[in-house]
Amino acid sequence: MGVVGGAWDWLANGANWAGENGVWHRLGEHVYVSGVALAVACAIALPVGLYLGHLGRGGTLAVNVSNVGRAVPVFAVLALFMVSPLRNAGYLPTVAALVLFAVPPLLTNAYVGMREVDRSVVEAARGMGMSGGQLFWRVELPLARGLVMTGLRSGAVQVIATATIAAMVGQGGLGRIITAGFNTYNTPQVVAGALLVAALALLVEGVLVAADRLLPRTGAAHR
């Protein structure tokens, strides 16, 4: 029996899904940590990126933040948090590290999305007497939505995949299934854990794609 077959058998065993070390519990931890980190990153990055894009300023800031965020290893940041006073703050170190990792794609895409809005449409809206706020909400944001959602999907997938490192510092999530498999030389369990993480990331991306398609395209730009 191959490794993939062994991983399938591991997933098909109901005993591996129950209890505090089971799949359901670890999945809940993973979703919680990833969801909180993504929500905080959105709350930080989207307003800043959209506002700077609306003003047409801060492009260098957006690019530099993106480059720095991609250059810094997430595990190194998490390790620093774990030797700081935050180490006894539950999932806070993991969430903080994931937020730093998720901000760059969200910030960059929000800024670029706003700056790539057709300037002729913006000027036409201004000529109709729209205020800055009306221009932002009714013209620029609807037209920038595609790139903003692309950044959100990218950030979500990266956070879900990277949240597995929490297990390396003794915290929860699906990474605990993988590390437990490594510790017991159980290759099928390692593969099963990796498949669960990949499936969760694909599921979340699919949900975000569907949500983007189903939500109405509001605003003057789509009338």
**Per the domain annotation, does 142 fall within a domain?**
yes
Compute and round to an integer the Cα radius of gyration of the chain. Answer: 21
**Per the domain annotation, does 116 fall within a domain?**
yes
Residue with tokens 């190194």: 76
Alpha-carbon distance 17 to 60, whole Å?
48
Q: Alpha-carbon torsion 6, 177, 182, 157, what sign?
A: positive
pLDDT band at 221 (very low <50, low <70, confident <90, very high): very low
**Per the domain annotation, does 190 fall within a domain?**
no
Average pLDDT over residues 120-135: 79
Alpha-carbon distance 59 to 213, whole Å?
29
Number of domains in the chain: 1
CATH number at residue 149: 1.10.3720.10
**Per the domain annotation, does 89 fall within a domain?**
yes
pLDDT band at 54 (very low <50, low <70, confident <90, very high): confident
**Per the domain annotation, does 198 fall within a domain?**
no
Domain of 162, in residue numbers: 30-171+208-222
Indicate if the pLDDT at residue 81 is higher than 70.
no
**Per the domain annotation, does 23 fall within a domain?**
no
**Per the domain annotation, does 151 fall within a domain?**
yes
pLDDT band at 223 (very low <50, low <70, confident <90, very high): very low
**Per the domain annotation, does 156 fall within a domain?**
yes
